[in-house]
């Protein structure tokens, strides 16, 4: 059979934009779903230097792309290049999911907070965010998505600490009175009475410095989760588990944040399960 333009014209293409991008697990993740559901489509890694981002984004819809994920270092800069920005992406100050609309406009969203909460709900279904304070370690882009989603989930108080205090203060200024800033030297004290504790830094990741926050104040039954997923069991999660905490690793956030984009691009709501986890970790 001869492959004519009409035969291949409507095959959707998506990808992940970053610099560098070779480390990304997103192609494996979306590729698994495409194969699993028998969908004719493609998802590719796209190494794009910052100075070429605007040019690449404008060309992608004309190349057959229906959308893209966005990762470091482009998550903030794509907001200025998008035609439509969702309220949550604007609040967080970053986008990780782009949809190229039929009218040619670029729609930017942030699904990190959704992925964060969905991961907890899947692995700790009894979690009740309203029962007490949440404590977030870190104040970078990922932390902003976590803060927004925790406040939306109904935490009565959100404690935050960061090595550079001004970044935590900026989050308080933008997210309001429920946010309480702690000095980095007082990070261990911040955990006292918290029912949810989140490491939203890269500390503890392979090749990065360890997280050196004292965990003595962690109470048994506290939910502890780490955004780091290499390794899956960080030293933070290991110690939290030893103290009787319910732990949730960071891989599920990556998996769940991908579902809204996949559904929009390829027309099928995918499932996050153990089979997917194995495929992404393989």
Which amino acids are annotated catalytic? Answer: 75
Q: Are 260 and 279 in contact (CB under 8 A)?
A: no
Q: Would you give the DSSP letter of residue 102?
A: T
| CA angle, residues 274, 276, 282, in degrees to nearest 5 | 100
Q: Are 70 and 17 in contact (CB under 8 A)?
A: yes
**67: nearest Cα among 281, 228, 239, 266:** 266
Query: Following DSSP, what letter does each residue of 63-76 receive, concatenated?
Result: GTEEEEEE-TTSTT
Residues 6+ apart with CB under 8 A from 162: 137, 138, 139, 140, 143, 168, 184
């Amino acid at each position: 059979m001869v492959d004519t333009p009409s035969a291949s014209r409507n095959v959707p293409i998506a990808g992940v934009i970053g610099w560098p991008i070779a480390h990304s697990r997103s192609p494996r993740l979306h590729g698994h779903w495409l194969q699993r559901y028998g969908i004719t489509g493609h998802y590719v890694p796209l190494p794009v230097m910052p100075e070429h981002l605007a040019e690449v984004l404008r060309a992608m819809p004309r190349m057959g792309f229906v959308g893209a994920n966005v990762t470091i270092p482009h998550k903030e800069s794509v907001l200025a290049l998008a035609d439509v920005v969702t309220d949550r992406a604007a609040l967080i100050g970053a986008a990780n999911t782009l949809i190229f609309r039929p009218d040619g406009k670029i729609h930017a969203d942030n699904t990190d907070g959704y992925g964060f909460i969905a991961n907890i709900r899947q692995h700790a279904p009894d979690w009740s965010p309203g029962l007490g304070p949440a404590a977030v370690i870190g104040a970078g882009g990922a932390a902003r998505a976590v803060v927004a989603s925790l406040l939306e989930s109904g935490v009565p108080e959100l404690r935050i600490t960061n090595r550079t205090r001004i970044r935590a203060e900026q989050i308080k200024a933008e997210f309001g009175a429920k946010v309480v800033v702690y000095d980095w030297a007082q990070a261990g004290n911040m955990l006292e009475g918290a029912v949810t504790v989140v490491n939203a830094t890269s500390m503890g990741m392979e090749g990065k410095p360890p997280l050196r926050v004292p965990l003595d104040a962690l109470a048994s039954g506290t939910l502890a989760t780490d955004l780091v997923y290499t390794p899956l069991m960080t030293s933070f999660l290991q110690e939290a588990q030893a103290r009787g905490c319910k732990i949730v690793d960071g891989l599920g956030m990556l998996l769940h944040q991908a579902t809204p984009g996949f559904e929009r691009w390829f027309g099928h709501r995918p499932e996050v399960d153990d089979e997917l986890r194995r495929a992404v970790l393989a």
